[in-house]
A and B are shown apart, each in its own frame.
Chain A
Amino acid sequence: MTEEAILQGCLKNHAAAQKELYNRYSPKMLAVCYRFAHNREDAEDMLQEGFIKVFLQIHTFQNKGAFEGWIRRIIVHTSINHLKKNKRFNESVDIIQASSVQVREENIPSIVQAKQIVDCIRLLPLGYRTVLNLYAIEGYAHREIAEMLDIEESTSRSQYTRARQMLEEILIRRNLIAAPREKTDRLSAIL
């Protein structure tokens, strides 16, 4: 079934088209949710809520961009809203007003599996992880992230910097990227 046929079917609320759309995009979208969520159950809740919104708002899709991108934005926003209901999340994103942190330029070898990277991302504290996901992977600007998370733009920047540094340390510790020239022992605090 073509994407256009799926879209038309979903607009008519046809269950078969909805199922087709779900089958096509849910694996990727669950991975997105999983990067934000505490656990798989939370991720599935986010996915469920997100897909309901997708189907209910599908008439607003204007064919201007990629359909997958449109779905993904809904899923991301749903995940963020889901997280914001959690008090722990609200506390975690605003803790650190980090100053400048040295960031290295490291490459991720192609042999590294996607799951390994995701597992490492999930080791980050919730606030760091959220900002890193939004900025580095989902491509949002710090200003947008600040609006989404109700924080200062500078907070988003600093959190991202810290998150990235911490992620690199995790990757190094797991031998997924090359060893750094300078080591920090900050990592041991969270692992």
Chain B
Amino acid sequence: MKERILYDDEFEKQLKAKADQFKMYPSDKVWNEVYSSLHTRRRRFVAGMTVLVASILILAGTQLIFPSRVIHPKSITAKVNNTSKPATGAALHNFPTNAFTADATDRSEGQPGPDVSQALISPFDAQTAALYDKPSSADQQTVNLSPESPMEKVLQPAPRIKGIQATDMLISAEQSGKAGLVDIIENTQTTRVSLLNYPDAELVADKTANSSTHFHNDRFGWELYITPSLNTHYLNGLNYQTMNQSIQNAPVMVVRLANVNGFVDNTPVIGYELGGNLMYKLSKNFSLKAGLAFSFNRYYIKAYNPGPTQASATLNSYLGYIADSSVNFASSGINKNPTHYQNRYYQISMPVGLEMKVAGNGKLQLHLGATVQPSYLLNTDAYVLSDDYNSYSKDAQAFRRWNINLGAEAFISYGTGKLRWELGPQVRYQLLSTYKNNYSLKENMLTYGIRIGISKTIW
């Protein structure tokens, strides 16, 4: 714009001067809108994380409420042991439903299977299994895999069924006294092996069967956990030796060089971490995991209210930081009753790490895990200590948004059906200071708690 060099007359000059004196103060809504428009990336990040967390929770919830019924395109050869000896009451011990499947080509030394390409024994699916009441005179009954399959073919040496010797699979009936039967419901594509008449009948499998091939079908899983936790935070003062010369020459209060932790009185308060992970089994004992976690940490600070004061010493202007709020509470006081204020931190993080099974069998296992957790500070309600350690002030701008945490955990897991329950200690250390670099104090938090979790293999 080319401004006119001179105003034409005195009236216009005066009009401009008067109009320029006029000021109006906009409502808070204007800045809020401006701010949210400028920082949409942050909003999008939070929204994306929320969607991701919600998706994991929905997936996990769905799996919990409606357990998946996986049908593998595999057929089976199974032998029903219904000998004259009394049935012992069967139990399906610790292997998943899909472990009952086996490739039809296994049945007869690599010979192609019958037309019926799929079969499923679904002992968990008693409601949907068709129940038939077939008489049985034989001591031992066999599963008839297809119309074309002769009985004797089926009676050939049993194959391995996902690490389980089919010969070890026993179906027995105890309570009814009738012969246990397994029948096949044929479709054009699928043959379903059903338990007949014996809703209480269960399959017994040899748990010692070779499971080396087992994990291939159980690579993916999820876990949810909550960790009630406490935290300890470590404060460090200025690093006097590393300051530049001009600052070193300046008068420095002795307290600056002392241990800052001696000037504060903080008490941990219980917080929590809530998270979910997706697991990928790398080998029999190692799993990779990644997920999202929300953590809420807090602790009490003991302070004394001296009345309104100016926070002139709150932050280091020579380090390039200027506080825009003022303070409020003294960190020490004489003849005054202390007040406890809470520092609260709300953080979302994305743990990525490894988990190792170090001991245990199918039922009870011991695991160790370690994660790296890029994290984002969603919000704070916290006071920062002034650099002379005399007072606390509230300044949201002092806090670092992005951080990195390291997590470690050890837990025992106990399998009940398809789920595993997990319990054990968890530790999390915040690598970077809670505050930005230009703030004189450094705070690193160590959070520890008991992790309670639940996990499940998806497929």
A interface list, Cβ under 8 A from B:
1, 13, 15-16, 18-20, 22, 26-28, 30-31, 34-35, 40, 43-44, 47-48, 51-52, 55-56, 73, 105-108, 112-115, 117-118, 121, 136-137, 139-141, 144, 164, 167-168
Residue of B nearest to A41 (CB): B27
Contacts of B30 in A (CB 8 A): 26, 44, 47-48, 51
Q: Are A139 and B39 in touch, CB under 8 angstroms?
A: no
Q: Are A118 and B11 in touch, CB under 8 angstroms?
A: no
Among the listed B1, B23, B24, B322, which residue makes an inter-chain contact with A140, where contact means beta carbons less than 8 Å apart?
A: B1
Contacts of A121 in B (CB 8 A): 19
Q: Which residues of chain B in 1-35 are interfacial with respect to chain A, using CB atoms and an 8 Å cutoff? A: 1-4, 7, 9-12, 14-16, 18-27, 29-31, 33-35
Question: In the assembly, what is the distance between CA of A105 and CA of B320, in Å?
Answer: 53
Question: In the assembly, what is the distance between CA of A22 and CA of B19, in Å?
Answer: 20
Contacts of B9 in A (CB 8 A): 105
B interface list, Cβ under 8 A from A:
1-4, 7, 9-12, 14-16, 18-27, 29-31, 33-35, 37-39, 322, 324, 397
Q: Are B15 and A117 in touch, CB under 8 angstroms?
A: yes
Residue of A nearest to B35 (CB): A15
Question: In the assembly, what is the distance between CA of A30 and CA of B397, in Å?
Answer: 26
Q: Are A1 and B23 in touch, CB under 8 angstroms?
A: no
CB distance from B13 to the nearest CB of A (A): 9
Question: In the assembly, what is the distance between CA of A157 and CA of B90, in Å?
Answer: 101
Q: Are A115 and B22 in touch, CB under 8 angstroms?
A: yes
Question: In the assembly, what is the distance between CA of A105 and CA of B24, in Å?
Answer: 29
Question: In the assembly, what is the distance between CA of A31 and CA of B7, in Å?
Answer: 21
Among the listed B16, B18, B25, which residue makes an inter-chain contact with A139, where contact means beta carbons less than 8 Å apart?
A: B16
Q: Are B25 and A117 in touch, CB under 8 angstroms?
A: no
Q: Are B16 and A31 in touch, CB under 8 angstroms?
A: no
Assuming the A-B contacts A18-B38, A27-B25, A30-B26, are A107 and B20 also in contact, with contact meaning beta carbons closer than 8 angstroms in the complex?
no
Among the listed A1, A51, A137, A168, which residue makes an inter-chain contact with B322, where contact means beta carbons less than 8 Å apart?
A: A1
CB distance from B315 to the nearest CB of A (A): 12
Q: A interface, by DSSP: helix, strand, loop or mixed? A: helix
Q: Are B324 and A28 in touch, CB under 8 angstroms?
A: no
Among the listed A19, A30, A48, A141, which residue makes an inter-chain contact with B2, where contact means beta carbons less than 8 Å apart?
A: A141
7 inter-chain pairs at a CB distance below 8 angstroms, sorted by A residue, are A15-B39, A15-B397, A26-B25, A43-B24, A106-B11, A118-B18, A136-B15
Among the listed B15, B24, B39, B324, which residue makes an inter-chain contact with A108, where contact means beta carbons less than 8 Å apart?
A: B15
Residue of B nearest to A77 (CB): B1
Nearest 8 CB-CB pairs, A to B?
A114-B21, A114-B22, A27-B23, A108-B14, A30-B24, A117-B18, A139-B3, A31-B22
Among the listed B1, B14, B27, which residue makes an inter-chain contact with A44, where contact means beta carbons less than 8 Å apart?
A: B27
Question: In the assembly, what is the distance between CA of A152 and CA of B280, in Å?
Answer: 71
Q: Are A137 and B15 in touch, CB under 8 angstroms?
A: yes
Assuming the A-B contacts A31-B24, A44-B27, are A137 and B19 also in contact, with contact meaning beta carbons closer than 8 angstroms in the complex?
yes
Q: Are A48 and B33 in touch, CB under 8 angstroms?
A: yes
Q: Are A112 and B26 in touch, CB under 8 angstroms?
A: no
Among the listed A18, A26, A117, which residue makes an inter-chain contact with B19, where contact means beta carbons less than 8 Å apart?
A: A117
Assuming the A-B contacts A43-B24, A140-B3, are A48 and B15 also in contact, with contact meaning beta carbons closer than 8 angstroms in the complex?
no
Contacts of A118 in B (CB 8 A): 18-19, 22
Q: Are A105 and B1 in touch, CB under 8 angstroms?
A: no
Among the listed B19, B33, B397, which residue makes an inter-chain contact with A35, where contact means beta carbons less than 8 Å apart?
A: B19
Contacts of B31 in A (CB 8 A): 19, 22, 26
Contacts of B25 in A (CB 8 A): 26-27, 30
Question: In the assembly, what is the distance between CA of A28 and CA of B26, in Å?
Answer: 10
Assuming the A-B contacts A15-B397, A106-B11, A108-B11, are A55 and B16 also in contact, with contact meaning beta carbons closer than 8 angstroms in the complex?
no
CB distance from A65 to the nearest CB of B (A): 10
Q: Are A52 and B38 in touch, CB under 8 angstroms?
A: yes
Q: Are B34 and A28 in touch, CB under 8 angstroms?
A: no
Question: In the assembly, what is the distance between CA of A48 and CA of B222, in Å?
Answer: 46
Contacts of A22 in B (CB 8 A): 31, 34
CB distance from B88 to the nearest CB of A (A): 71
Residue of B nearest to A140 (CB): B1
